[in-house]
Each structure stands twice: as structure tokens, then as C-alpha cells.
Amino acid sequence: MQAYFWVKTLHVVFVVAWMAAVFYLPRILVNLAESAGQPEVQARLVLMGRRLYRFGHMMFGIALVLGLVLWLGYRFIPDFPTMVGPGSGWLHAKLALVVLVLAHYVVSGRWLKRVARGGALPSGRALRWFNELPVLGLVVIVYLVLAKPF
């Protein structure tokens, strides 16, 4: 049982680190959209965005591996609790939302790469709205994990 809590703790830590990147990368895109005509500022923001995007991918990868251990660890680790079985519909809903948040993150990364190649971004206002979407996803994900409503 001790292994379960360590895996769960590390999973939550790496999810928090990934969510920091998910929240901040669109903000960098807003700043890029609003710094048109300032090549030095844009170059710095693109560099920051690339590093953050890479960091976020690493954090997601580690969180994913730890999440898989939480999900399927009962098959390999003695006394490891399982989340698989009746009443785990919340887990499927959570995973679907995680996929949507990941898609949001990938879109952010593609927009960043487009800017680095000299392409255009959506307006700063549109990017601000885009920046708020993962917050809603996170709220529902946390509710599903804590309440396990179905």
C-alpha cells in the first residue's frame, strides 16, 4: 500500500508541473500576438515557449507513466489497489478530458512553431479565451477524481 501512495503522490506532482505548462504556454502566445513588430521580444518569447513546451511534454510523459501504474499496477505490484471495475466510469470521463487538455496543449505548441516559422497567430483576445479552456477542464477533472460520481 505504501508504493501506491508514493506513485500517486508523484503522479499528482508531475500533473501539477504539466498543468503549469498548459496554463502558461497560451499566455506566451498572447504576448507573442501582442508584440508584433518587436523581433527581439518575439525571439525571446519563442525561445521561452519552446523550452516550456519541451518541459511540459516531459512532465506529461512522466505523469502518464505514473498514471498507468496507478491504473494497472494491481496486476504487477502485490497489495496495490485497483481503479478498474464497476463504478469506474469517472475514470473514463477523466481520461477523455485529459486527452482534450493534451490536444489543447499540442495546438498551443503548433501555434508556437508556426510563429517561429514566421506565421500568424489568432488575435490576442482569441488567445486569451483559448487560455481559459484548460482551467474548465481541470476543474471537472479534479471533481471527477475526488467525487467519483459514477
Q: Which residue has the cell 508541473?
A: 17
Is residue 113 marked as binding?
no
In angstroms, rounded to a whole number, what is the distance separating the alpha carbons of residues 10 and 31? 32
Compute the CA torsion angle 73, 81, 71, 6 (nearest 10 deg).
-70
Q: Is 11 within any annotated ligand binding site? A: yes
Q: Is 131 exposed, middle or buried (0-12, 13-18, 19+ CB in 10 A)?
A: buried
Distance from the first to the final alpha carbon of the chain: 24
Residues tagged in the binding site annotation for heme: 11, 94
- Binding positions are 11, 94
